[in-house]
Amino acid sequence: MAIYFTGTGAYIPSENITNADFAAHEFLNDDGSPFPYDNATVAQKFQEITGIEARRYAAPQLLTSDIATLAAEEAIADAGCDRETLDYLIVAHNFGNVRADAIQTDILPSLATRVKHALGIKNPRCVAYDILFGCPGWVEGVIQAQAFIKAGMAKKCLVIGAETLSRVLDPHDRDSMIYSDGAGAAIVEEKPGEGGLLAHATLTYAAEEAYYLFFGPSFNKKLPQDVRFIKMYGRKIYEFAVSRVPEAMQQCLDASGVPIGEVNKVLIHQANEKMDEAIIHRFFKRYGRLAPEGVMPMSIHQLGNSSVATVPTLYHLLRKDKIKGQHIAPGNTLLFASVGAGMNINALVYREPK
């Protein structure tokens, strides 16, 4: 028996926001002072560093739980499973439901409960709960689902990552251009066969690193300073990620017993193209190798950074051959990795069924 992804789904929001759409924004430094250059230069430098050309925002009437449900419906259909047989329904997010016209998050009831309700699941033994674990939340949800299955507590789990970051952005902070909305989901199930989920690793660094990502006031000092937005220390996160994430990836791969030469794809959290490239190169360097061409599929260029949704969305697009020049074949070995608020890091090794 092995633990497989038997179905995947994703919701990619309809509103396409290009870098040019930020032309009228008043970007400020954290002390409220204006930038010394215009927004065209800001956008150019931003794209050169992050690789992001566009990102998706959810339509105003849709909440995080709504897009989570849409991704879940696709995953259930893809797996061809009876939703009433799900043992766990796990939703990873960070900010709950935030209406487009509000500043308050809503997590009562939990998003998992709302998704279960929207899916029409009547079985009370389908346990629904949320994970708040930063951007690595979906990967951690998969790790937990695997643990439930190995412990004999479950046979089939639905794990969703969903976020509407567009609702918690400071329009005066250029870092806000990174973030986007989206949802991805997968059915994690025990089936006869070999491979599947082989190993995992999870780490939390909470000494100096705990507040690298945080909620803070707008850079516009004229706005109410008790209204909070997502903020980050970008340089510190970059240095942390390129140092610590390759370590966790190596720990995970070594635990799996899979040789580095058998890793076909690395699916890494879509945070920043330059940062992800540096992580991949440092990871392969640990084995005395160069990163093979095409080993790191990317979706960030057009979808931006949708936090917990990036990895499941990327995996779904790959499974459905929707990323140009990229393909997953039966028996391929994939290494998933993510890093985010906490600061949390995780990784897992997965071998596709043959």
Per-residue pLDDT tens digits for 126-146: 999 999 999 999 999 999 999
Residue 31, pLDDT above cutoff 80: yes
Percent of the chain residues topping a pLDDT of 90: 88
Average pLDDT, the chain: 95
pLDDT at 203: 98
Segment 2-28 mean pLDDT: 93
Amino acid 44: pLDDT? 87
- Three-class SS of the chain: CEEEEEEEEEECCCEEEEHHHHCCCCCECCCCCECCCCHHHHHHHHHHHHCCCEEEECCCCCCHHHHHHHHHHHHHHHHCCCHHHCCEEEEECCCCEECCCCCCEECCCCHHHHHHHHHCCCCCCCEEEEECCCCCHHHHHHHHHHHHHHCCCCCEEEEEEEEEHHHHCCCCCHHHHHECEEEEEEEEEEECCCCEEEEEEEEECCCCCCCCEEEEECCCCCCCCCCEEEEECHHHHHHHHHHHHHHHHHHHHHHHCCCHHHEEEEEECCCCHHHHHHHHHHHHHCCCCCCCCCCCCCCHHHHCECHHHHHHHHHHHHHCCCCCCCCCCCCCEEEEEEEECCCEEEEEEEECCC
Q: Which top CATH class is 2-193?
A: alpha beta
Please indicate whether residue 110 or residue 174 has the higher confidence score (pLDDT). 110
Q: CATH 3.40.47.10: which residues of the chain?
A: 2-193, 197-351
Identity of the highest mean pLDDT range in 19-33, 219-233, 246-260: 246-260
Does the pLDDT value for residue 103 go beyond 80?
no
**Mean pLDDT of all residues in 44-48:** 88
Banded pLDDT at 64 (limits 50, 70, 90): very high
Q: For residue range 277-326, list pLDDT tens digits in order.
A: 999 999 999 999 999 999 999 999 999 999 999 999 999 999 999 999 99
Question: What is the average per-residue pLDDT within 267-275?
Answer: 94
Residue 256 has pLDDT above 90, yes or no: yes
| CATH number 3.40.47.10 is the correct assignment for the domain at 197-351 | yes
